[in-house]
Amino acid sequence: MKAEISAHIDELLINSGLFPDVKPSHQNIVNFNFSEETILITGAAGSIGSELSKQLTNCRFKKLILIDIAESPLFDLMNASEFENKHNIHFQILNITQKDSLQHLFSTFQPTIVFHTAAYKHVPLMEANPFESIKVNIFATKLLTDLSLTFEVKKFIFISTDKAVDPISVMGISKRISEDYIAFLSKTSPSIFLTTRFGNVFGSNGSVVPLFKKHIETNRTLTITHKEISRYFINKQKACQLILKIANNDSHTSALFTFNMGKPIKIKHLVERLQIFCKIESVDIRFSKLRDGEKIHEHLVSNNETLLATEDEQIFLVQKNNSTPFNSKIFDRLNKVSAFTPQVKVKEILMSYL
């Protein structure tokens, strides 16, 4: 394994919080000025949503509205130390697929900045539950963006994924459709639509890394789906700092961004470094096969996209080489999908968009 890759993995592990006895490297405290803004965060109890929320407690803002459908995680977030003695923060249980609930929320709080982090993200689960992926990842995103226009939101920040690049999975296609719809709206909208696309969040909720760690520490066989499989990784503190930096930059117009995540990491190399951190002599690894919708490698841009440098070396602008009109007919087709529609048929409809 190349030394630079090992160093990159070590940095991710040190800052992951998975090893309390290992002192994290210095993390810059963000202190952006959102003093005139009412900020709404969807999926606030998730990995990115909760970290954004906590980092925002170091910033100035008018109001912070944190919504999630997951009651217990949102309750845990509400009781986090970062929110003690904070009186301009509101926690709301809300299903973002329900139009009436969202309309009431926008009408009540009049948000000026929206961070849309809520999504279904696990590839195998979404392959098995495509209808749910369509409802949350596509139509809830469309509902949020449309309401943001209606209520004249200043900035809408969408959290996407590298799986939206040349997608083959239900999850990836659902995020790709949302990316494209947001880009379509941004061409004629007074609101600024910003999309951030990045890889796996290291040590996040449901991440494979804590699962691997648990298997290694309990001497259980560890299964990897392919010997060469690799992924881009970024720690959530860095990802959220960059998201807030983009949102705070008033010179940005609507655009798609990605981050400097180093080189992709082979999962087998990640396991080797985890083994060292766990101080375990040997690990029993079994290789299986790729799951439905899973790729061997992910990419940050497609062949129709180019990475451009920005004033920040950690942030890249993704520019489309050839612009194609958004095909809104996909919404008509997806509106006809129900819980009774066969999974194969749903996947065919999603694939027809590409």
Query: What average pLDDT score do residues 141-164 get?
Result: 98
- Per-residue pLDDT band at 341 (split at 50, 70, 90): very high
Exposure on the CB side of residue 39, measured as CA atoms within 13 A: 29
| Residue 25 scores a pLDDT above 80 | no
For residues 320-339, average pLDDT: 94
Q: Which residue has the higher pLDDT, 294 or 251?
A: 294
Do the beta carbons of residue 232 and residue 164 sit within 8 Å?
Answer: no
Backbone angles phi, psi at 219, to 5 degrees: 55, 35
> What CATH class does 19-30+119-205+234-261+295-351 carry?
alpha beta
pTM: 0.96
pLDDT computed for residue 23 by the predictor: 79
Place of tokens 């080797």: 272
Per-residue confidence band for 121, with pLDDT thresholds at 50, 70 and 90: very high
More confident residue, 4 or 206: 4
Name the pLDDT band for 2 (thresholds 50, 70, 90): low
The rounded Cα 134 to chain-centroid distance in angstroms is 16
Residue spans of the domains in the chain: they are 19-30+119-205+234-261+295-351
- Helices (H), strands (E): how many in the chain? 13, 15
Whether residue 183 is predicted with pLDDT greater than 90 in this model: the reply is yes
What pLDDT does 22 receive? 84
Q: 291 pLDDT exceeds 60?
A: yes
Residues 227-268: tens digit of each pLDDT? 999 999 999 999 999 999 999 999 889 999 999 999 999 999
> Is residue 163 among the annotated active site residues?
yes
CA angle (164 as vertex; 160, 166 as ends), nearest 5 = 160
Catalytic hit among 135, 155, 163, 266: 163
pLDDT, one tens digit per residue, over 33-85 is 999 999 999 999 999 999 999 999 999 999 999 999 999 999 999 999 999 98
Q: Which residues of 227-237 are buried (b: 16+ CB within 10 A; e: fewer)?
A: eebbbbbbbbb
